[in-house]
Amino acid sequence: MNKKCISLLAGILFSTMAFAQGYKVGDKATGFNLKNVDGKMVSMADYPDAKGIVVIFTCNHCPYSKLYEDRIIAINNKYAPKGYPVIAINPNDSINEPVDSWSNMIVRAKEKGFTFPYLLDAGQRITKVYGASRTPHVFLLEKVKKNYIVRYIGAIDDNSKDPSAVKEKYLAIAIDSLLAGKKPDPNYTKAIGCTIKWAE
């Protein structure tokens, strides 16, 4: 009887694990402690006064990530003072994609003058838990008491190629909504991006 019970439980546990595909809007997001391009570790505890965090999975090599670098800098410069700083995380395995190695991250952050941390998810654990599937991929978190709640998942805006042709700034609209005490709408968008380069 006990054995049956255990195998049933194990079965349920396994199937939930198999179906876990990262966070959905409304989920509580885990914290992290990852190495920045300046060699220091960064965690959410470094932002005691933040109202939330704009987590963006992005990388060096991906053309879509490159297209958004300037726009990510602009978002951080506009919203960090309002309580929503950007934290960029490189999700890729550097053996699979050498352009995304830590040393190349340092070079790129310097070249572009990133005004936000650019962290390496060595081991790719945070990428898996969040369910990032492409770069760039945004997870907008709102701080509610001591928790970070996922409020928006998706794209930065609706035109990767041409910033001047953007009609809807999804991420900016979502942050503005949170600042106004409202839930973002839309809270989930899709865009073409590069696959996550997983360790083989």
Partner 1 sequence: MANSLKFFSIFLFVLCSLVFTGQTIKVYKDFADFEPQLHKSSDTTYVINFWATWCKPCVEEMPEFLEINKKFEKQKFKMILVSLDFDTQIETKVKPFIRENHIQAEVVLLDDPRQNQWIDRVNKDWSGAIPITVIYNKDFYFFHEGTLTFDELNELITKNIKK
The residue among 7, 47, 2, 12 whose CA lies nearest residue 142 is: 47
Q: What single-letter DSSP state applies at residue 124? A: S
**97 touches partner 1 by CB under 8 A:** yes
**172 touches partner 1 by CB under 8 A:** no
Q: What single-letter DSSP state applies at residue 17? A: H
Size of site (CB under 8 A) for partner 1: 23
- CB 193 → partner 1: shortest distance, Å? 5
Q: Applying CB under 8 A, which part among 2-10, 76-84, 119-127, 187-195 lies near partner 1? A: 187-195
**94 touches partner 1 by CB under 8 A:** no
Nearer to partner 1 among residue 5 and residue 192 (C-beta): 192
- CB 7 → partner 1: shortest distance, Å? 30
**197 touches partner 1 by CB under 8 A:** yes
**63 touches partner 1 by CB under 8 A:** yes
Q: And the tokens for 153?
A: 């998942």
Q: Applying CB under 8 A, which part among 33-41, 77-85, 176-184, 188-196 lies near partner 1? A: 188-196
**Residue 14: C-alpha distances to residues 6, 8, 107, 144 (Å):** 12, 10, 41, 30
The residue among 90, 75, 108 whose CA lies nearest residue 34 is: 90
Lateral strand order in the sheet of 118-120: 28-29, 147-154, 137-144, 52-57, 86-90, 118-120, 33-36, 41-43
Q: Among residues 50, 54, 150, 194, which is the contact residue for partner 1, using CB under 8 A?
A: 194
- CB 65 → partner 1: shortest distance, Å? 11
Give the other-Cβ count within 10 Å of 60's Cβ: 24
What does the binding site for partner 1 look like in residue numbers (CB under 8 A)? 62-63, 97, 133-134, 154-155, 158-162, 165, 170, 189-197
